[in-house]
Structure 1
Amino acid sequence: MNVVRKHIIFSGRVQGVGFRYTACYLASSLGLTGWVKNLWDGDVEMEVQGDEASISRLVERLHEGRFIRIERMETEVIPVIKESSFREIY
């Protein structure tokens, strides 16, 4: 399994709609690690680490969220780090 880490900024209706909770639940169920947090400008920032297919599944399932509406994503591949869970940062 080839592990990658991505830094993603989500824009759209992504705050106040359960985005972070959903991201934590899905990422954990997919065996991914990293974190997610709200930004002051209404976007959500995430670093997610795992295999490419699982990260793609996470993003697909976030797009399917009932109240979530992702209008734009800025994605960058960043160096892999050692961590053991996916968490929400406040």
Structure 2
Amino acid sequence: MENRLLQIEKAWEQALGDIFQPYVDLKREPTASAMEAFRTVLGSTDHDIRRHIARTAARQGSTFLSRYLVEEDWRRPSP
């Protein structure tokens, strides 16, 4: 069972990477409309997914995105 959970987690990481990679690879701050679209998608995601995106962004050097995600997380009520 543990191996199955690990496989599911790896599949989710790959899918999340494919979806959010354009935001992680940003070399400059995006436009306000692009961030509003991102905020809309982010608003419907689970806390663990947001944390994963922030960690991935920080690991890949996207300080703007990781900082943005931390700020967004502070604005949200705790589950």
Higher helix share: 2
Q: TM-score of the superposition, structure 1-length normalised?
A: 0.32
Q: TM-score of the superposition, structure 2-length normalised?
A: 0.35
Higher strand share: 1
